[in-house]
Each structure stands twice: as structure tokens, then as C-alpha cells.
Structure 1
Amino acid sequence: MATLSFNPTRIPRTPKTKTASFRKPTSRVSFSVQPNASSGRKLAHGFPKLRVSTQEEAGVEEYEEDDPTVEMSYLDPETDPESILEWELDFCSRPMLDIRGKKVWELVVCDESLALQFTKYFPNNAINSITLRDALGSISEDLGVPLPQKIRFFRSQMQTIITKACRELGIKPIPSKRCLSLQLWLGERYETVYKRHPGFQKGSKPLLALDNPFPIDLPENLYGDKWAFVQLPFSAIREEIASMDTRFMFGSSLDLDLLGIAVDDETLIPGLSVASSRAKPLAAWMNGLEVCAVESDTSKGCLILSVGVSTRYIYATYNKSPVTTAEAESWEAAKKTCGGLHFLAVQEDLDSDDCVGFWLLLDLPPPPV
């Protein structure tokens, strides 16, 4: 069984901190599993307290930082700043009030590996693209890291502000829910920082909730010829991921170590295989979509493909029957057993052992903020 947690070994140990003043392919369904009753998802709550270190001559003096109003500016000293090419960003209000009784906003920035971590609070009357642009520039200046080539963000409501700020800095903005490190970190901050803030508002709902729009028809260029539910042992998943670096294949992986996903090699991971006579062009188109997750909707007899931040496609359909419904339910149950871990493979033939596109996906619940 898979377990999912935020890997606590990636917490910074020497941060700089400062106190804030605030559808149409059809095919038979051909997969079944006997899922374990347990969900397998265990989101970690409660990092060790943030430790701030200061170098003093021959020794290191450490003390615990226990102030939830403290901001963070950190770069892993063992990481080459030039190697950090992409950032993940969230700019949103938090369930906290400032001294004026107004919502506190926060900018949270990191990279996939969490070598870079930055947080900064803002009053609600300073939320605009200029504020964000300047803050992003300050990260580069303060930490000595170059501005990234790309920044991913997962809130569609902030797209205008984020896009403008990024473009003014020559950064490519990418709306995408594949900001998994960031989302898990936000979940952690909710438990260990926001709840302890003196202005915390218990029961407060996120101001900018994540979109879950009604699914729309799939563009013709994304159609496959056939599809099937499949499963692969995790050992085969690892081999497929490793082959991305040794042969030409579209797709993307996940930093399983960072996400704290522990899966036995023999564990069967559910997936969806799509076959097409034009597999390579199809995989190429898919590669630019920021594929997030695949889910089955048994009430409508279809599969839904989530991409970007607010787009959901009717990716495939099937004739509803007790058998097909049970198969689809089993697939979803297997995905839940694996902590949301699943995959999407594009092949020239369903019986082929080779993929031309492979995406490792994680169906993660939205962060609580």
C-alpha cells in the first residue's frame, strides 16, 4: 500500500527570517482489482518546529523559531542557484486577520525540490501585479538566485495578476495544478503556522477556492482510437520513469521522494492506456496541457481528464452496465488505495510494451487554504 506524506527531511535548517508587520474514444473496459479497504492516504500534520541556525566562529548555535508571523527566505546552500529553473507560486488570502481586522494575504514561493522557499505577508490593499512583480524580484536579489524560466500557479482567479507580473519580468507563467510540492507545503503551513497565528479565523473558507468546472468536449486533436484501464507494478513504473531520460518519450514524472510516497515494488498502480495510430503527435499535444489527473464518473459513464488549472475534458466514454460500472469503481478504489497515485500512457497499440507518452499523476485533494 502506498502512503503519502510531506517529506520532513526537506525542511530548511538555516533560513533567513524576518518578522512580518502583517471525450470520443470508446473501448471495452479491461481492468479489475481487489483494492484494500484502506485509503492509503496519510497527509502529514506537524513538521518539527522550524529551526533557525546562526554560524558563530567554530560552532553553530541553534534556537527554535516559534513565531507564526515570521516570514521565510531560504535557499539550500548545497543547491546550485543556476539549477533552479522553475518556481511554484501561490498568492492568496489566508484564514487570518491583521491588526485592522482585514484578511492577511501571503505570497508563497518554492521550487519542486523545496531547495527554494519564500513566504511574505501582505495587507489586502496591496494586492496587485506591481506588488507581486517587486516581491518576485526581491527573491532573486535577496537569495542570489536568477529569476526562473517558468512559474507554475494553481489558482485561476489570480491568473491576470500573476501573468502580468511574470511577463514584466520575462518569466513564462504556467497555470497548472501540478504544483504538488507547493500544495503539500500549504497544507503543512495551515497546521503549523496559520492555525497558530493570533488572527486565525477558525472555520474560514478559502477566498479563492479551486475551480472544478463542468467537463467539456475533448478537442479533436486529442482523440485516441481505443482506451483501457490497466495496471502496472510499481517496479515497472519506476523503469518507465527512468526511460524518459534515455529514450525519446513525452510525459512527466513526480519527485516521489519529496512527496514522501512509499510504494512496494509489487504494488499495482492503476492507470489509463490510450492507443492511437498517431500516437506520437497525440502525445506531443498532451505534453503541452499540464495533465493533472484522470477520474472516472460512473454516473455519466465517462472518464474526465483534468489539465491546467480549470479545464476538465470528457476524455472517454463507455456504455453503462453493472459490469462496466463495477470496473470503473474498482479503478477509482485502486487509485485511492495508492494515495491518488495513477498514470496515463499513450501507445501505438494497447498490446504494445512501449509507450510514446507517459504521465505519472497524483490526484491530490486541494489545500485547506
Structure 2
Amino acid sequence: MFVAAFPPSSVTIIGVRVLPATKTKSGEIAKSGKSEVPEDLDWGQVSSQWEVDCFSRPVMRDGKKMWELMVTDANAVYRRVAQMKPTRVNSVVVQKLMTIFIEESKVKPQTIRFFRKVMKNMLIVALAAVKDTMPEYLEKCKIIPSRNCHMLRLWLNYRMREVYPKMTGYSPPVKKKSTSVQGSLVKMAYERLPERLFFSQFAMTAISLGALASMKPGQLPGQLARIPPGFSDSAQVYGILILSSRADVICSTLRSLELAAIRVDLETDDLLMELDIDTTYKIDKIRPEEKEVYLKFERSKRQLGGLHFVAVHDAISGGEPLLPIEADDMGPGEGCITGLWTLIDYSLQDEDA
């Protein structure tokens, strides 16, 4: 099982208890409890991309699970934790807490992501209310349900290992029961890729981890997930290379979406593309003679903490691609790949939890 090295040594843990806020006569939000930002916090390193989680934790308080609201920027420099009473978990309380965190931050969020489907409705209501009450800060802020909450997941994994077990009332999470029997009886039916994303040719290939790690933000259209630490630069990262005469269109479409993962459903033998928080499309049906290749892809993901990629190559101007992809093929430039998304499949980590 992949264990993330978190937090980085240069980042100070901010763990505070913030109680539900109340409004003063002047209409301002008054803070109950302690919520202090360290004086040495480097605001220049705080990202405007924020990630949020609101859920129960494996700690019992008065016979019920403790709930937390966790907020981090994408660089994990500004991080806040608010403990919540189970009876006070609602959109109004989350709105008040988020208002506190946004007001005290010198860097306001331009994007707020969250990954839990079961909390989707409540968080959308709470965050929309925050936007309405803070238009001077959040008029253009986007609220995005997305599995791409990379720093938040690292931080949550760290707290699961290092923080909650030391709390009074800790109760280890119960391992999820296997659903393989049920899955073999009730098979999923997935929608095909929509026309704007459609491609008929692709190849399963690899890129060295070192080549991926050398990529700089903005070097190519796409998105770069944080590379998990602790692996050799020579490790081979597997993914799919999309070959299309519509490479620019596909890249543009993917940039407007939250591409989350490529996954193999071994029950249905389908190759899948996962987007945002709950959208899944079928790329192709896996033929029996290809199955070992896709099993290798899934094994590679598990060994590298879910890391994999999607690359896009222009089948006309780029010519025949050389596989596996080398560092010199990363572009930009003639014959190079057109776009690159490095991804983390968190479903593998959730299975191991």
C-alpha cells in the first residue's frame, strides 16, 4: 500500500479547534474558539486553488463519531481543521466556518474542490452561500466537485496514520467488505465517450517517472498531479496515449473537464475514463488477448500509489509515435505529444484503507 510522506518538512501543521461562528450586532462573523494563523506563514506560497473535506473521523466523542471540516490550499501552506459536533453538521455551520477561513486568509480561493459524493449537495449549498455573502472575494470563484483533491488526500492520509490514532476515543476504521460476488452478478453498464471526447485509436504505453517529474506546469496543455515521493526516477509509469487527428480539440475539451483517472473494470472488461466526482465513460471493450496488458497497467498503478497518465498525440502532424514515450517526446515541439495529464487513481487507496 502506498504511504505518502506528509507533511513536507517546510510546512507547519495547523491543527486548530474552531467552534461554530456567530454573528455580532454589526453583522460580522465572530469566531468562537481558537483560530490563529502562524506569524511566519509564507502567504506568497499559498495557492488560490483550495480543497475541502467535511466528514466523520474514526474518533468517538460522547458515543458518536467526531466530524471535521478540513481546508487546504493546493500547496498545503494554509491548512485549517475545524472539529464539528455530529448534531451540528449542516450547510449553515460549514458556511460560517468557511467564511472564517476565507476572511483570515490573505490569499482568497479562485477554485474550491471537494471529492466526497455523499457530501456533494451539502457542500454545494454551503459554498454557494459563502460566495453570495462574500462577492468582493469570491465573485469568480469556481466550486468544483472533483476527485482531484491531491493535497487534501495526502493530508487526510497523514492524519489517519499519525493524528487520529493518538486521540482519545480512536476506533480503527473497519475494512470495506469485498463486493466481488455482487459485482459478478450485477454488472455495470457504462456510457460511451461523448462525441466531443471521442477517439478510436489509443495505445497503452509507459513514461519514466523521471521524465514526468521533469515536466513544468504550462509546458503542455493538461494537468500535472503531484508525483508521489519515494520512487526511483527509472520507474515506469503506465498510461494511455490517445492518437487522433482531433488532438487539439480533445486537449481543449479535457482541459475544461476534471479528468480524474483511467481505470479497468475487470468484471465487465471495460477500459474506463473517470471525470469530476461521479462521471464514468467507457473508452473500449478489452479483448481477451489484451487483458494481460491492462492487468499490468493496474498493477503499476497500485505499486506507484495510483499514479498513471493520459497523453494526447496528433496522428497527422505528429506522425507515428515512438513508444515508450521518452523525455525528448514530451514537447512542446514538432512530433511531440500534444497534451499530458498525470493522474492519481484514489480508488486503489480507498480499497486498501
TM-score, structure 2 length as denominator? Answer: 0.75
Structure 2 matches for 1:119-130, cutoff 5 A? 119-130=81-92
Residues 98-152 of structure 1, C-alpha deviations (whole Å, 9 max, x = no match):
23x233211011112110110011112222222111101111334x424311111
Residues 213-242 of structure 1, C-alpha deviations (whole Å, 9 max, x = no match):
944322121111301101122333245x23
CA distance in 2, matches of 1:89, 1:10: 22
CA distance in 1, matches of 2:345, 2:34: 30
* Partner residue, 1:159: 120
* Partner residue, 2:327: none
* Partner residue, 2:211: 236
| Equivalent residue for 1:225, pick from 197, 200, 204 | 200
**Which segment drifts farther, 150-159 or 227-236?**
227-236
CA distance in 2, matches of 1:205, 1:121: 24
CA distance in 2, matches of 1:368, 1:124: 27
* Partner residue, 2:179: none
Q: Secondary structure at the match of 1:173?
A: strand
* Partner residue, 2:170: 200
Residues 272 and 343 in structure 1, CA contact (< 8 A), matched pair in contact too? yes
* Partner residue, 1:296: 264
Displacement of 1:250 in angstroms is 2.1
Residues 75 and 115 in structure 1, CA contact (< 8 A), matched pair in contact too? no
Residues 304-347 of structure 1, C-alpha deviations (whole Å, 9 max, x = no match):
111111122112234x23x3112222222233333322110111
Displacement of 1:199 in angstroms is 2.5
Residues 225 and 277 in structure 1, CA contact (< 8 A), matched pair in contact too? no
Displacement of 1:204 in angstroms is 5.0
Q: Secondary structure at the match of 2:298?
A: helix
Q: Secondary structure at the match of 1:262?
A: coil
Displacement of 1:355 in angstroms is 2.0
Q: Aligned pair in 2 of structure 1 residues 351, 9: CA closer, same or farther (>3 Å)?
A: same
The one-letter code matched in structure 1 to 2:8 is: T
* Partner residue, 1:175: 145
2:269 is aligned with 1:287: no
Displacement of 1:254 in angstroms is 2.0
Q: Aligned pair in 2 of structure 1 residues 278, 336: CA closer, same or farther (>3 Å)?
A: same
CA distance in 1, matches of 2:73, 2:14: 15
* Partner residue, 2:4: 5
Residues 274 and 280 in structure 2, CA contact (< 8 A), matched pair in contact too? yes
The one-letter code matched in structure 1 to 2:294 is: A
* Partner residue, 2:59: 96
Q: Identity over the aligned pairs, expressed in percent? A: 24
* Partner residue, 2:218: 245
Q: Aligned pair in 2 of structure 1 residues 129, 230: CA closer, same or farther (>3 Å)?
A: same
CA distance in 2, matches of 1:308, 1:172: 13
The one-letter code matched in structure 2 to 1:363 is: D
Displacement of 1:178 in angstroms is 0.9
2:94 is aligned with 1:136: no
CA distance in 2, matches of 1:205, 1:3: 16
Residues 88 and 152 in structure 1, CA contact (< 8 A), matched pair in contact too? yes
Residues 20-75 of structure 1, C-alpha deviations (whole Å, 9 max, x = no match):
79xxxxxxxxxxxxxxxxxxxxxxxxxxxxxxxxxxxxxxxxxxxxxxxx987656
Q: Secondary structure at the match of 1:77?
A: coil
* Partner residue, 1:114: 76
Q: Secondary structure at the match of 1:177?
A: coil
| Equivalent residue for 1:366, pick from 337, 350, 353 | 350
Q: Secondary structure at the match of 2:40?
A: coil
Count of aligned pairs between the two proteins: 304
Residues 270 and 343 in structure 1, CA contact (< 8 A), matched pair in contact too? yes
2:158 is aligned with 1:188: yes
The one-letter code matched in structure 1 to 2:73 is: D
Residues 3 and 262 in structure 1, CA contact (< 8 A), matched pair in contact too? no
Residues 46 and 75 in structure 2, CA contact (< 8 A), matched pair in contact too? no
CA distance in 2, matches of 1:199, 1:187: 19
| Equivalent residue for 1:274, pick from 219, 242, 254 | 242
Q: Secondary structure at the match of 2:283?
A: strand
Residues 273-331 of structure 1, C-alpha deviations (whole Å, 9 max, x = no match):
0111111111111122211111223443321111111122112234x23x311222222
Structure 2 unpaired stretches of 5+: 21-32, 132-137, 177-182, 322-334
Q: Secondary structure at the match of 2:71?
A: strand
* Partner residue, 1:29: none
* Partner residue, 1:150: 111
CA distance in 2, matches of 1:155, 1:3: 21
Residues 291 and 308 in structure 1, CA contact (< 8 A), matched pair in contact too? yes
TM-score, structure 1 length as denominator? Answer: 0.72
* Partner residue, 1:80: 43
CA distance in 2, matches of 1:76, 1:340: 36
Residues 187 and 367 in structure 1, CA contact (< 8 A), matched pair in contact too? no
| Equivalent residue for 1:348, pick from 314, 322, 328 | 314
CA distance in 1, matches of 2:241, 2:232: 21
